[in-house]
Amino acid sequence: MRLQYPTNVRIIRTPCTGKLEVEYFMKAFENGADGVLVAGCEEGSCHFIEGNLVAKRRVNYTREILSESGLDKERLRMINMGAADPRPFVDKITDMVETVRKLGPNPMGRAGSKDKQEIRP
C-alpha cells in the first residue's frame, strides 16, 4: 500500500519473534537505540506455535530490567498483529516514535558504548 512511516525507523526482519533474546534488546539500547518495537504474529496464529508467546515473556522481562536500571520501560514494546493489514502496523510505529520522542534520547546512548570501547586493559 506504500504507507509512510517515520524515516528514523529501522526494520529488522526475523523468522520469528520467539528467536529474539533479552540480550538482543539490551544490546540495541547499549548501541544507542532510543526505542524498540517488537511486532509478532497474532496470538494463536504463530507459525512456530508459541514463538510470539515466548517473545512476549522476554519483552516483559526486559521491560522490568529497563525499569530497574533507570530507563523507561515504554522504550520497549511488543505488538501482535496480522500481516494482511499494514495500516495498524504503521499506526503502532508512529505511536512508538511519538512516545520515544517525548521520552527523549536514550541516556545510555552511543556515547556510553564509545567510552567502553576506549577503555583498554
Q: What is the pLDDT of residues 95-114, one digit of tens each?
A: 999 999 999 999 987 644 44
Q: Does some domain include residue 2?
A: no
Q: Does some domain include residue 115?
A: no
Helix axis angle for 22-30 and 51-68, nearest 10°, is 40
Q: Does some domain include residue 12?
A: no
Domain of residue 66 covers: 17-104
Give the bridge partners for 38, in sequence order. 78
Q: Does some domain include residue 6?
A: no
Q: Does some domain include residue 118?
A: no
Q: Does some domain include residue 84?
A: yes
Q: What is the pLDDT of residues 65-90, one digit of tens each?
A: 999 999 999 999 999 998 787 899 99
Give the predicted TM-score (pTM) of the model: 0.84
pLDDT score recorded for residue 26: 95
109: DSSP letter: H
Q: Does some domain include residue 87?
A: yes
Q: Does some domain include residue 64?
A: yes
pLDDT more than 90, % of the chain: 67
Structural domains in the chain (count): 1
Q: Taking the CB of residue 42, how many other CB atoms lie within 10 A of it?
A: 13
pLDDT score recorded for residue 112: 47
- How wide is the angle at C-alpha 108 spanned by C-alphas 68 and 80, nearest 5°? 65
